[in-house]
């Protein structure tokens, strides 16, 4: 029998949404002479996404860009992805309505001005350490980690205690 002190806590969020560029990457892009692009992602985030999945915590990547790099990383992480999102606030509200989720129980991890509408629409706006000052100003939590350096890992470890 578990005591109240040892009972599992309910999850803080019902969904975590990650911006891609500047959150799961360091916001830089490598452009090859044939136009193909590449980015660098942090492998430590992979363990975080495994932990989210093990905790049955839904995760979504949302990007303004439509880029094969984003889709490839989402496949590798086994995460749903929405690309070519023009208005992130409206999109997250629609996604939550269609999936029976309360916006007040959603976290959004962002870094730049185009993330502000989504961050204002949800209950737990989170900014990476090197986010734009206006993003940091509305954040529920500003991470110690900059974009591309393991932001998802910090959330899994420090905020949710999953690792």
- The string of pLDDT tens digits covering residues 26-51 is 999 999 999 998 999 999 999 999 99
Over residues 91-110, the pLDDT tens digits come to 999 999 999 999 999 999 99
Give pLDDT, residue 11. 67
Nearest CA to 18 out of 62, 66, 70 is that of 62
Q: Residue 142's pLDDT is what?
A: 97
Q: What is the domain partition of the chain in residue ranges?
A: 15-159
pTM of the model: 0.91
Give first-to-last CA distance, the chain, whole Å.
Answer: 24
Say yes or no to pLDDT of 6 above 70: no
CATH architecture, domain defined by 15-159: 3-Layer(aba) Sandwich (3.40)
What's the pLDDT band for 133 if we cut at 50, 70, 90? very high
Q: Please count the other Cβ atoms lying within 10 Å of the Cβ belonging to residue 119.
A: 26
Burial class of residue 49 (count of CB atoms within 10 Å of its CB; 0-12, 13-18, 19+): buried
DSSP string, 91-111: HHHHHHHHTT--GGGEEEEE-
Q: What is the pLDDT averaged over residues 108-132? A: 97
The mean pLDDT value of the chain amounts to: 92
Residue 39 CA to residue 3 CA, distance in Å, equals 47
Q: What are the φ and ψ backbone dihedral angles of 108, each rounded to 5 degrees?
A: -130, 130
């Amino acid at each position: 029998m578990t005591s109240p002190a040892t009972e599992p806590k309910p999850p803080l969020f019902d969904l975590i949404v990650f911006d891609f560029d500047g959150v799961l990457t360091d916001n830089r892009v490598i452009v090859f002479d044939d136009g193909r692009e590449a980015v660098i992602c942090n492998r430590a985030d992979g363990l975080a996404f495994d932990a989210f999945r093990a905790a049955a915590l839904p995760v979504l990547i949302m990007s303004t860009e439509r880029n094969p790099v984003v889709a490839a990383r989402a496949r590798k992480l086994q995460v749903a992805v929405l690309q070519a999102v023009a208005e992130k606030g409206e999109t997250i509200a629609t996604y939550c309505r269609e999936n029976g989720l309360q916006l007040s129980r959603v976290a959004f991890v962002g870094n730049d001005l185009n993330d502000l509408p989504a961050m204002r629409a949800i209950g737990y706006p989170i900014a990476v350490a090197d986010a734009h000052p206006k993003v940091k100003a509305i954040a529920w939590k500003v991470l110690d980690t900059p974009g591309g350096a393991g932001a998802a890992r910090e959330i899994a470890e420090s905020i949710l205690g999953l690792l």
